[in-house]
């Protein structure tokens, strides 16, 4: 994870900034917002808290949009390779805004809410995505930025037990489904989703109610506040992409291993930006692929680290890397030539100028524990 070198006066605040300060969070600039990197217990303890109990994240910096008017699903499908027309009421789908070269402008979550679509977009792309959608959506479909909303994420194996006490309807939800309900008496929209690899919930709530809801959740004995540092190590172990690091305009969904997001209908009919390139890679294969990389000593391989073969030839680059507390050592993701993408392939990562032994691994490093049943 990277942070921005931005003056404190230039940073925007989420509705939970005062709560973070009261909890002695270390605040850093991220995507233009003052965000908690960690709390006094530290990143390692916070990571283990989410893997073993439950952690509460402030993700209010993410953009929440609503598409309405006309046929939003068809309008959005002209901009993404995802199958939104097949999305059932109360369902959520992960997809990407693509450009004419097949590059990923952003990865997004799309939910069907009656005759509207709700979108969650990355914080660093919020303004750009809004402008892109306003310019590209076919009339009469329009987009609205829900600036009056906050977003919380409750993640971990104990998250369901917590929600069972505060919002029993939430426990009935399966992974990638949502429903409007009250949580501790506060009106919310709850989805069973998240970006840690654990079971959990994301809760959209009015900004004016966000602090009261967060404090109520933190009263529960299983819950602790969690910052961006642990969020990054959790998603890395889970093999989940970080936009701006693992995926960007220089990366196609196929290179990123996101083939599963493109349905048979979209593969057959195309009709989205970069379809020719993306569909050709689906049929012929890409020249490089995103893989897991396991360094074999204790030195982590950070983003930008070269990956070389036994002859010293560069065959790829690390895009995300660090220590994986649950994995018990350094873990990384990156792109390598297809010939080297087979799990178990020995490679070397050049850390501070020194080639170090590593191997290609299948993702994720830690099994997902989503509630699919």
- Residue ranges of domains in the chain: 8-61+148-237, 287-373
| Residue carrying structure tokens 């959990």 | 200
4 pLDDT exceeds 90?
no
| Segment 153-191, tens digit of pLDDT | 999 999 999 999 999 999 999 999 999 999 999 999 999
Quickly list DSSP for 61-111.
TSEEEEEESS-HHHHHHTT-SS--TTPPTTBEEEEEEE-TTS-EEEEEEEE
In CATH, the number for domain 8-61+148-237 is 3.30.1360.120
| Residue carrying structure tokens 């989420």 | 14
80 pLDDT exceeds 70?
yes
Number of H helices, E strands in the chain: 9, 20
In CATH, the number for domain 287-373 is 2.40.30.110
59 pLDDT exceeds 80?
yes
Q: Report pTM.
A: 0.95
Quick one: pLDDT at residue 373? Answer: 76
116, β-bridge pairs: 113
Quick one: pLDDT at residue 10? Answer: 84
Q: Residues 136, 141, 147, 148: what is their CA dihedral angle, to the nearest 10 degrees?
A: -170
Task: Please give the mean pLDDT across all residues of the chain.
Answer: 96
Quick one: pLDDT at residue 9? Answer: 61
| 8-61+148-237 and 287-373: identical CATH topology | no
Quick one: pLDDT at residue 8? Answer: 53
| Segment 240-273, tens digit of pLDDT | 999 999 999 999 999 999 999 999 999 999 999 9
pLDDT average, residue stretch 17-32: 97
- Is residue 208 very low, low, confident or very high in pLDDT (cuts 50, 70, 90)? very high
| Segment 112-125, tens digit of pLDDT | 999 999 999 999 99
5 pLDDT exceeds 50?
no
């Amino acid at each position: 994870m990277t942070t921005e070198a931005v003056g404190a006066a230039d940073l925007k605040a989420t509705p939970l900034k005062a709560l973070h300060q009261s909890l002695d969070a270390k605040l850093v600039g991220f995507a233009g917002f003052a965000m908690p990197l960690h709390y006094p217990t530290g990143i390692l303890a916070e990571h283990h808290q989410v893997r073993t109990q439950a952690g509460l994240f402030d993700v209010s910096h993410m953009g929440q949009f609503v598409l309405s008017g006309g046929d939003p699903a068809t309008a959005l499908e002209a901009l993404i390779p995802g199958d939104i027309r097949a999305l059932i009421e109360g369902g959520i789908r992960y997809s990407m805004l693509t450009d004419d070269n097949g590059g990923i402008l952003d990865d997004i979550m799309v939910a069907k809410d009656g005759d509207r679509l709700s979108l969650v977009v990355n914080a660093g792309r919020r303004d750009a995505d809004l402008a892109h959608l306003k310019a590209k959506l076919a009339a009469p479909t329009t987009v609205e930025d829900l600036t009056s909303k906050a977003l919380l994420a409750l993640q971990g194996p104990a998250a369901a037990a917590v929600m069972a006490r505060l919002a029993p309807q939430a426990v009935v939800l399966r992974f990638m489904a949502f429903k409007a309900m009250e949580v501790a008496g506060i009106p919310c929209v709850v989805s069973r989703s998240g970006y840690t690899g654990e079971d959990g919930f994301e809760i959209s709530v009015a900004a004016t109610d966000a602090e009261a809801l967060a404090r109520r959740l933190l009263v529960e004995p299983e819950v602790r506040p969690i910052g961006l540092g642990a969020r990054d190590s959790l998603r890395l172990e889970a093999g989940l992409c970080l936009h701006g690091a693992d995926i960007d305009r220089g990366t196609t969904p196929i290179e990123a291993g996101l083939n599963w997001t493109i349905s048979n209908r979209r593969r057959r009919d195309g009709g989205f930006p970069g379809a020719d390139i993306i569909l050709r890679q689906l049929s012929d294969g890409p020249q490089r692929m995103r893989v897991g990389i396991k360094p074999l000593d204790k030195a982590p391989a950070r983003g930008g680290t070269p990956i070389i073969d036994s002859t010293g030839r560069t065959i790829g680059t690390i895009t995300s890397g660090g220590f994986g507390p649950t994995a018990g050592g350094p873990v990384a993701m990156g792109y390598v030539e297809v010939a080297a993408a087979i799990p178990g392939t020995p490679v070397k990562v050049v850390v501070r100028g020194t080639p170090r032994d590593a191997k290609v691994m299948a993702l994720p490093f830690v099994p997902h524990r989503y509630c699919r049943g």
